[in-house]
């Protein structure tokens, strides 16, 4: 990251929806540990 030495930015891509209880729990735990957390998108699985 450009904000300083030893500062990192990670992008995580996974399958799951932010309303799923397991995913919601994981995102809450990540938010507690991270300096910043930004969800770029969460989309329901398409049913064909």
pLDDT (tens digit per residue) in 12-38: 998 888 889 999 999 999 999 998 999
Cβ atoms of 34 and 27 within 8 Å: the answer is no
In this predicted structure, what is the pLDDT of residue 8? 86
R_g of the chain, CA atoms, integer Å: 13
14 is in which domain, residue-wise? 1-48
In this predicted structure, what is the pLDDT of residue 21? 95
Residue 24, Cβ neighbours under 10 Å: how many?
13
Q: Rounded to two decimals, what is the model's pTM?
A: 0.71
- Domains held by the chain: number: 1
Give residue 45's pLDDT band: very low, low, confident or very high (50, 70, 90): confident
Give residue 1's pLDDT band: very low, low, confident or very high (50, 70, 90): low
């Amino acid at each position: 990251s450009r904000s300083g030495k030893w500062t990192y930015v990670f992008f995580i891509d996974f399958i799951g929806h932010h309303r799923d209880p397991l995913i919601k729990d994981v995102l809450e735990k990540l938010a507690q540990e991270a300096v910043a957390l930004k969800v770029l998108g969460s989309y329901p699985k398409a049913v064909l």
